[in-house]
Amino acid sequence: MKVLVTGANGQLGRSLRRSFASAPVIYTDVEELDITDLAAIRATVAREGIDTIVNCAAYTNVDAAEDNPALAEKLNAGAVENLAIAMKEVSGLLVQISTDYVYGGKPHHSPIPEDEEPAPQGVYAVTKLHGEEAIRRIGCRHVIIRTAWLYSEFGKNFVKTMLRLTAEKPSIQVVNDQHGTPTYAGDLADTIVKMLSKEEGEVFSLASARFLASEKTSPSSDYIFHYTNEGECTWYEFAKTIAEYAGHTGCEIRPCTSDEFPSKVHRPAYSVLDKSKIKSALGISIPHWTDSLKKCLGSL
């Protein structure tokens, strides 16, 4: 198996570099490969002998997407369709990273399973769902992983922002009415690699993997999986824990409502994802978000 990772300079892409270690993987970002260009993808797949793509590329600026719907659609749906076409042509596998935002238009009060009907709200959520739908329409072998609240040692993210603010400011406000689960990109990357490998590290046969897509196109959720860390919290609780673990005791963190931070898009009030399916399929346990946060802070 020869793997291509797109969006390789982002949080998950850089985490995958660690998780794959010495495996034969090609890493690309927009500078090396424009995934909105189908011909360029086909050429890379043919030249490198690619039969598996892990797509970490996306337009993820939720607020900016409202002002740039065409660009968001191009990157979150059109580019994904191109990747699906390229993998369909070589009977390859596409691993697509999606989002909890596809559920944001309906109220939820308990962990959301994969077969829950999506209800996207806002351009970002709609375009990410369009990407999922494009994959199923093309009918390539695929795994779709919906995740949430991603952070890592790399790039810009909530953890690094809170570390800076709680070190610099005497007080900050953080919303306390949005519930979800922080996800350490390193844990998600390890899980993706486990999906693609035997426990011994050898690549398994796609045909024998019960959680991979068949050749038949289906609108079912058979090949959609949820992955976050275990547990749940609000952004306020997340921020408080970050500051506590970092020893930033001089900053007062006050809870507030989402209405106090006006936004162009409504963010999900409760988007905790049910992960029992992926735990059963892979035979894994998932770390609690507080344990993974400590691990990330230790690396920083």
Residue positions annotated with a catalytic role? 124
Question: Length of the chain in residues, anyone?
Answer: 300
CA end-to-end distance (rounded Å), the chain: 33
Geometric angle at alpha carbon 231, from 59 and 124, rounded to 5°: 15
Return the CA Rg of the chain: 19
- Interacting residues of 67 by C-beta distance below 8 A, sequence separation 6+: 264
Residue 171: count of CB within 10 angstroms of its CB = 11
